[in-house]
Structure 1
Amino acid sequence: MSNSADSPQGPVRRTLRHPVRVLTAAVFALAGLIFVTSANTAKGTNIRTDSSLLKLSDLIQQRSGKNAQLDETNASVREDIDTLVRRDDGSTKAEDARLKELERAAGTTKLTGRSVAVTLDDAPPNATANPGYPDPQPNDLVIHQQDLQAVVNALWQGGAQGIQVMDQRLISTSAVRCVGNTLILQGRVYSPPYKITAVGDPAELKQALDNSPAISNYLLYVKAYGLGWKVDEHKAVTLPGYSGTVDLHYAQPVK
C-alpha cells in the first residue's frame, strides 16, 4: 500500500493528465490558426471596427460626390463633341435650328427665363402639434417622396419649360425617389431642405401649385406641425442642361 502506483489515486491522476495535455495542445494550435487566418485576412490593415473607418452614410456621400464630378466631366466632353459635330457635319441652318429645338425639349441644354422656386423642409427638431391638431407621428415631420413629386407634377402641369431639383435638371426619364427623408436623384444623394426651380410663367406656375390637391394636403401638415414651405418668384434664372446619360436601361430576359 506504500507504493503510489498501486494506490487508487495514482492511476486516476495519470489518466487525467493525458487529456489535459492534449486539450492544451489543441487550444494553442487553434489559437495559432486564428492568428494566421486573421493576418491573411487583414493583409496589413486594421480589421477592427473603429471611428476612423467610413460609416455607410459617409460612403454614400462620397459616392454621391464622385457621381457629381463624373456628371461635370461628362457635360464638358459632350459640349466638345457637339461643337465638333456642328463644325464638321455640313448641316443646314434649318437642321441646326431643329437640333437645338430637340435639345431644348430634351433638357440637355441650358434654359433661361422667369421662374418659380419651391423649398420644402422637415419640421424643426422637437416639433409639436399646433393647437387643434393631434400629436405628430415621426412620418408627419419629414418630407416624403410624394411631397416632392406633387410639386414637380404641379409645375409641369403649370406649363414649366424646364425643372431643376436641387442642382440637377430633370428630363423625361428622371425619377424623384426618397429613402426615408433622403432624396436619391440620378445617382446622387441629397438631404433637406429641398429646392425645386421651374422656368415658365410665374403666375401660371403658382396657380398650378394652388390647384394641386396633393399640395393642399401637404400644406395641412405645414400648418399643423411646421413643415417647411416657401415659394419664391425670380425674374431671370438659368437652369443647367442635363449632363447625365440619356441611354435607356431596362431588364432583359435571360437567354
Structure 2
Amino acid sequence: MSPRIRSGIAVCGVLAISGVLFTVSAQLAPDDDTRHAEDLASVVADESDRVEELSEQSTELDEEISRLSETVDVDVPAREPELRQREAVVSGAWPVSGPGLSVSLDDAPSSSLSIPGFTADDLVVHQQDLQHVINALWAGGAEAMTLQGERVTSTSAFRCSGNILLLHGKVFSPPYVVQVIGDPTRLQIALDASPGVGVYLQYVERVALGYEVAELDAVEMPAYAGGEGLEFAEVPDGTDVFS
C-alpha cells in the first residue's frame, strides 16, 4: 500500500463506549485520516506556563474544599462506596493498578530515508497514529490509561508535531508508551481490529516504524495531577444527585 493510500484510510466503526471515561477520544484533536506533522511551537509556548498556574490553582482549591468540608454540620446523604470508587477511577482521582497492556510507538531509523517512495514525514509517529491506538484500547474495554506516564482522563487532550508530543502542558519525545488496565485479550483483539492501527502496521513493515505490544501482569497508574478542564456545571432542575 502506498503512502497516499495509507493517508486516505478512515477510522471505521463506532467505539463501544460507556461512561464519561470513554469520552476521552472526543477531547483529542479532530480526527484526521492523514499522517502529517502539525505546528506545535505556539501551543507549547502558551500551555507550558498555563499548566503550572492551573496546577497551583487546583491544589489551592483542593485545600479549600477540605477546609469547607470540615465545617459542614449537617447530615449529607452518602453515595454507595462502589459508586464513589467508580467515579474516582473515571475521573482519574485515584491511583489504580491491575493487569493490562503496554503499547509502544517509535520513529523509524534514519536509514529508512533511503527507501524509495517515502519521505521524512513518513518516518515519524503522528498524532493520528496515537489516536488510533488509544481509541482502539478504549473500545477494547480499557478501564484506565496513561500516556507517557500521564494519567489520561475524560478531559485529556494531546497534540503532536513531528516527533514532539504535548500532553497536560508537558513536552515528550518518542518512543510514546500507552499503558492500559483491562482484559489483555480483549485489548489485543481491539488493536488487531482497528483499521487505523492496521495502516500504521503497514508502515512498520515498510519503513521500520516502532511498534511493540506487551502484556503486563500488574500496571501501576498514578492519579491525575493536573487541573480539570471543566470550569463549572449545574444540576438540572428536579435531578436527585443522591439517587
Aligned residues: 189
Q: 2:160 is aligned with what amino acid?
A: C
Q: Match of 2:230, SS?
A: coil
Give the TM-score normalised by the residue count of structure 2: 0.65
User: 1:69-88 to 2 correspondence within 5 Å?
Assistant: 71=55
Separation in 2 of the partners of 1:102 and 1:243? 16
User: 1:154-233 to 2 correspondence within 5 Å?
Assistant: 154-233=136-215
Q: 2:136 is aligned with what amino acid?
A: A
**Larger deviation, residues 73-82 vs 177-186:** 73-82
Separation in 2 of the partners of 1:165 and 1:139? 22
Q: 2:145 is aligned with what amino acid?
A: I
Separation in 1 of the partners of 2:85 and 2:65? 11
Asked whether 1:112 is paired with 2:97, we answer yes
User: Which structure has the highest helix share of the two?
Assistant: 1
How far 1:137 sits from its partner (Å)? 0.6
Asked whether 1:122 is paired with 2:107, we answer yes
Q: Relative to structure 1, is the Cα distance of residues 137 and 202 closer, same or farther in structure 2, using a 3 angstrom cutoff?
A: same
Q: Is the 8 A contact 1:151 1:215 kept in 2?
A: yes
How far 1:207 sits from its partner (Å)? 0.7
Q: CA RMSD in A?
A: 3.2
Separation in 2 of the partners of 1:157 and 1:189? 27
Q: Match of 1:101, SS?
A: helix
Q: Is the 8 A contact 2:98 2:219 kept in 1?
A: yes
Separation in 2 of the partners of 1:129 and 1:155? 34
Q: Is the 8 A contact 1:117 1:197 kept in 2?
A: yes
Separation in 1 of the partners of 2:61 and 2:137? 28
Q: Calculate percent identity across the aligned residue pairs.
A: 37
Separation in 1 of the partners of 2:105 and 2:168? 19
How far 1:105 sits from its partner (Å)? 1.8
Counterpart in 1 of 2:35? none
Separation in 2 of the partners of 1:75 and 1:230? 36
Structure 2 residues not aligned, in runs of 5+: 1-40, 232-243
Structure 1 residues not aligned, in runs of 5+: 1-56, 250-255
Candidates 210, 230, 233, aligned match of 1:248: 230
Asked whether 1:237 is paired with 2:219, we answer yes
Q: Relative to structure 1, is the Cα distance of residues 78 and 200 closer, same or farther in structure 2, using a 3 angstrom cutoff?
A: farther
Q: Relative to structure 1, is the Cα distance of residues 92 and 112 closer, same or farther in structure 2, using a 3 angstrom cutoff?
A: farther
Give the TM-score normalised by the residue count of structure 1: 0.62
Q: Relative to structure 1, is the Cα distance of residues 120 and 98 closer, same or farther in structure 2, using a 3 angstrom cutoff?
A: same
